[in-house]
Amino acid sequence: MTSSPSPWIIVGLGNPGAEYAATRHNAGYLVVDELARRGSATWKMHRSRCRVAEVRLGSGRAVLAQPHAFMNESGGPVASLVSYYKEPLDRVIV
């Protein structure tokens, strides 16, 4: 039996708040929102302080993430998420 390949963790950075909603500051949020939409994924809040959604990408799978922190404060939530999934850093795209 073959094991399922490790998921990619795809992190879209952004800033919380309505004033950033459709700005270049939220380009990362917008990209992972679109990937979630295309994959018919459902967002849920994770204990890492990231919104996450799991999707299939081709023959693989990915965990999409949006840290609920300003971009310059997103390191902690992202590190917590990567630690939770126990994935190597070469499987993380920011």
Tell me if the pTM is above 0.85.
Answer: yes
Of 6, 20, 25, 35, catalytic: 25
Q: Where are the domains of the chain?
A: 12-93
Which residue bears the tokens 């950075």?
13
pLDDT exceeds cutoff 60 at 2: no
Residue 5 has pLDDT above 90, yes or no: no
pLDDT in tens, 27-77: 999 999 999 999 999 999 999 999 999 999 888 999 999 999 999 999 999
Q: Which residues are CB-contacts of 56 (< 8 A; sequence separation ≥ 6)? A: 39, 62
Alpha carbon 93 to its chain centroid, in Å, reads 9
Question: What pLDDT digit, counting tens, does each position of 7-18 carry?
Answer: 999 999 999 889
User: So what's the architecture of 12-93 in CATH?
Assistant: 3-Layer(aba) Sandwich (3.40)
Contact residues for 92 (Cβ-Cβ < 8 A; gap 6+): 8, 9, 11, 78, 82
User: In the sheet where 60-67 sits, what is the strand order?
Assistant: 44-45, 50-57, 60-67, 8-11, 92-93
What pLDDT is attached to residue 80?
97
Is 68 in the active site?
no
- Distance, CA of 8 to chain centre: 9
